[in-house]
Amino acid sequence: MAQSHADAESDAQLVEAIEELGAKLSAAKSSITRRFIGQETVVDLVMSSMLCGGHALLLGLPGLGKTRLVDTLSTVMGLKGARVQFTPDLMPADILGSEVLETATDGTRAFRFIEGPVFCQLLLADEINRASPRTQSALLQAMQEKSVTIAGQPHELEAPFHVLATQNPLEQEGTYPLPEAQLDRFLVQIDVDYPDRDTERDILLATTGAHEDEAHGVFTAGELIAAQNLVRQMPVGEKVVDMILDLVRACRPNEPEARESINASVAWGPGPRAAQALMLTTRARALLDGRLAPSTDDVIALAKPVLIHRMALTFAARARGDDLATIIDGVAQAMLAERSAA
């Protein structure tokens, strides 16, 4: 009986903590939208990735406010930010740092490590696909292990550490596709589209006057880490877990659970890291929406941003003009309809 009372008290504390965090996130979102007008889905996805301790890839044409959003997030979330403009001549040392040989006053020489911009808490990798694959891959260890190795010596990065990268469409000149291993390290891929007419009008009025609204800090680095720990404590029902597993496995070609559209068009599908990403992001989405646990609707809503950069079309599918977003949405909607009919 004492154990049951303790469990009930623990559950009540968890509910209270989740509700308090939800109110704080609402204030943070309000502060962000003062400078990044409209695009609520984009804001929710970026905030979800940070609540999960992950990295986000923002895909869109130049001039849509991607850089402005990341800069605002740095202020609101209380993180030490840094920015790297990726260019074709950028070298790995320009991101990670390098060792320099220094001569002391007594004539002795020694190497000293000079930290690069990656030693921050929120790194804006601007136009990441304009750099060569060699330079892009310099971020792999930092994104996965939160540390970098220079001249055989490991250097820990400050927690929390997030990479928010912007990417221009590959159809533009001077871009390189990101390595598949690096794409998999991004928790979500977020498409930033043109704003609608009313939103664009609001942007014009808000950003071309004598004064602009400023974002203000809502979180500290320590509070964000605590929020990330709380997200992992949120309960997830068996239906949601089964939906995540079924969806990920249905998107892998030649698996027993694979759908016909996947076998016909997809060269390779999402791995276990995709299922982990869905498990975390569904919790974060529920939290941002003021709910205490995720639902299957969260899985459907997050299917495309979590899976699309972890899959590739076959050559024949590209020749036919197939679209990964449409394929993923079709699989997700079909699974939802099957569960509704059952």
Helix (H, G, I), strand (E, B) or coil at 314: coil
SS3 213: coil
Q: Which of 103, 122, 123 is nearest to 111 (CA)?
A: 103
Cα separation of 241 and 303, whole Å? 14
**Residues making up the chain, counted from first to last:** 342
- 259-272 pLDDT per residue, tens: 888 888 999 899 89
Instruction: Give the pair of three-digit tokens for residue 36.
Output: 């990044």
Question: Where residue 110 falls among pLDDT bands split at 50, 70, 90?
Answer: confident
120's tokens: 């921050």
Which residue shows structure tokens 């076998």? Answer: 263
**Contact of 39 with 179, CB cutoff 8 Å:** no
| pLDDT tier, 2 (very low <50, low <70, confident <90, very high otherwise) | very low
CB atoms within 10 A of CB 91: 13
Show the tokens assigned to 96: 């990670």
C-alpha 143/C-alpha 182 separation (Å) is 9
CATH topology identical between 36-224 and 235-341: no
120-129, 192-201, 241-250, 323-332: range with lowest mean pLDDT:
192-201
Task: List, for residues 41-59, the tens digit of each pLDDT value.
Answer: 888 999 999 999 999 998 8
Chain mean pLDDT for the chain: 86
* pLDDT for the residue numbered 170: 60
And the tokens for 40? 């609520």
Phi, then psi, of 274 in degrees rounded to 5: -65, -40
Amino acid, res. 273: R
Pick the CATH number of 235-341 from 1.10.1840.10, 1.20.1440.230, 1.10.8.80, 3.40.1010.20: 1.10.8.80
Region class of 184: left (phi > 0), else alpha (psi between -120 and 50), else beta: alpha
Mean pLDDT of 219-224: 92
pLDDT mean over 4-8: 63
Q: Around 70, how many Cα atoms within 13 Å sit in the side-chain half-sphere?
A: 26
Judged by DSSP in three states, 254 sits in coil
For residue 112, CA distances in Å to 97, 103, 115, 157 come to 11, 10, 10, 17
Lowest mean pLDDT segment, chosen from 117-121, 177-181, 284-288, 322-326: 177-181
Give pTM, 2 decimals.
0.87
| Residue extents of the structural domains in the chain | 36-224, 235-341
Return the beta strands (E) in 151-271 as ranges. 153-156, 162-167, 188-191, 266-268
The pLDDT assigned to 171 comes to: 56
Q: What is the pLDDT of residue 47?
A: 93
What is the per-residue pLDDT for 1?
A: 42
Task: Kindly state the tokens that stand for 299.
Answer: 């899985």
Cβ(32)–Cβ(69) under 8 Å?
yes
| pLDDT tens-digit series, residues 192-218 | 888 888 888 888 887 777 777 777 888
CATH superfamily to which 36-224 belongs: P-loop containing nucleotide triphosphate hydrolases (3.40.50.300)
Residue 330 sits at φ, ψ, to 5 deg, of -65, -45
| pLDDT grade for 277, boundaries at 50, 70 and 90 | very high
Q: Which long-range contacts (CB under 8 A, 24 or more apart) does 148-153 make?
A: 148/96, 148/97, 148/118, 150/96, 150/97, 150/98, 150/99, 150/113, 151/99, 151/111, 151/113, 153/113
Write down the pLDDT at residue 208.
79
Handedness of CA 21, 22, 26, 32 (dihedral sign): positive
Q: What is the pLDDT of residue 103?
A: 78
